[in-house]
Every structure is written in structure tokens, then in C-alpha cells.
Amino acid sequence: MGADKTNNIMTLSSGVSQSLLADVQYFELYSSLALNRKLKNIVLPGFYCGFEPVPGTGLSVRITSENSEGKGAASVDVNNVQISVQQIEDVTVSVKAGATNIIVLEANFEHGVKTTQVDSASSVSAARIYARTDNTIGQNQIELCRVIVPSGATAVTKEMIVLKYRVNRAVGVEFSNEISSTEERKAATPKAVKAAYDLAAGKAPSNH
């Protein structure tokens, strides 16, 4: 069917293909789909804050957002929509020894499919974090970190956690005069660039 009829008003079905799609329209029935497509390709997949991996107890990793005011934020593309995921509480992920464990954040959305966020009896999670050892990542997943655990290891150490393949993003950029900061989401001001240049040239940094 190309259209649905509700109260004698014809509306396009969720399966209708169009050359252009705008924001949510008057009488558009499928509001969840419409809202979730809103920021696709505008907010890009990745981690915006939080979701930090730290060694847990034994062969486990604790994913926490305690350094981000207690809430993490990430974006995952799921087919033709963009899904934002917030971390409210810590998540503990078990890993295997003698393997490269890819810890992923997965989000799910499909028109007509209930997830655990609206139905506790559902077998489909709205979002979840777990470890994969098959060296693959699904189209609805983003890599949080890799945990390379040697054979015989009984506990995860900080050195085993690899963040090289994780994508961190920022909606905005903060400008800073600091020249020694390791923060990834700050940009140097002209003053900071000059101070760094003067420092490298052996000059005393300017105070104004």
C-alpha cells in the first residue's frame, strides 16, 4: 500500500519512497521515524561525551560517564535514521582472555518493532553495550574501545584498553589560551599559538 487512511485522511505510508524528505509534517503518522531521521548526516556517529572504558573487576571493563556530569552522549546511525543514546548508569562488560574484544555501542530502531525501552518483554534492546570477538562491527554499532587480553590473564589492565579506533566528536569547539592541554575538544586561540611559538623559540610567553 502506498497510503494509509485514518479518519478519512490519506497519509503516506512508512514505506513510500520520495526524492526529498522534510521535517515532521502535519498529519504524518510515523512520528518516531520522522523524528529519528531529523539529524541523520547532521549529527555524525560517534561519542560526544562520557562512555569512558576503565578496568573493571577481573575480566571485565566498566563503561562510565562519571566524568561527564553523570551522563554520556553518543550518536549511532541505524539504516536511514540517527539514534542518540544517553548513558545514565555504569555498564559492566565481560571480556575474554586470549582475544581481541571489540566493545561496541549498539542502537536499534525499526518501524513496527518494539524494543525493551517500551516493552520489557521484547527481545530487541533499544541500546546495548557488549563485546565482540569476531573482528566485525554491525552497521548499527560504533566501536567504543578494544580490549586486547593476553592468554592466561585474570584481570583487565589499563594498558589492554585501546582507544585508537574510537570516534570522538563534538557539537561545538571551545577556544582556549592553554598551550599544555591534552583536551581533544578545544581549539587554540591565536594567543595560544603565539605562546607555543615563543616557547619553542626560547622566548618568555606574553602575559597579555
Question: Which residues contact residue 181 at a Cβ distance below 8 angstroms, ignoring those fewer than 6 apart?
Answer: none
Per-residue pLDDT of 172-202, as tens digits, reads 666 778 888 776 667 778 887 888 888 888 7
Return the closest-CA partner of residue 169 out of 42, 59, 66: 42
pLDDT at 13 over 60: no
Evaluate if residue 84 carries a pLDDT over 60: yes
Does 4 score more than 80 pLDDT?
no
pLDDT over threshold 50, residue 10: no
- The model's confidence at residue 65, banded by pLDDT at 50, 70 and 90, is very high
Mean pLDDT to the nearest integer, 104-130: 92
Read off the pLDDT of each residue in 89-101 and give the average, rounded to a whole number. 97
Domain 46-162 is of which CATH architecture? Sandwich (2.60)
Is the CB of residue 143 less than 8 Å from the CB of residue 165? yes
List strand residue ranges (DSSP E) for the chain, in order: 3-6, 9-12, 46-49, 52-55, 60-64, 72-78, 81-87, 91-94, 99-107, 127-132, 141-149, 161-162, 174-176, 186-188
Rounded to an integer, what is the distance from CA 160 to the centroid of its chain? 21
The ranges assigned to domains in the chain are: 3-36, 46-162, 172-208
What's the pTM value of the predicted model, to 2 decimals? Answer: 0.73
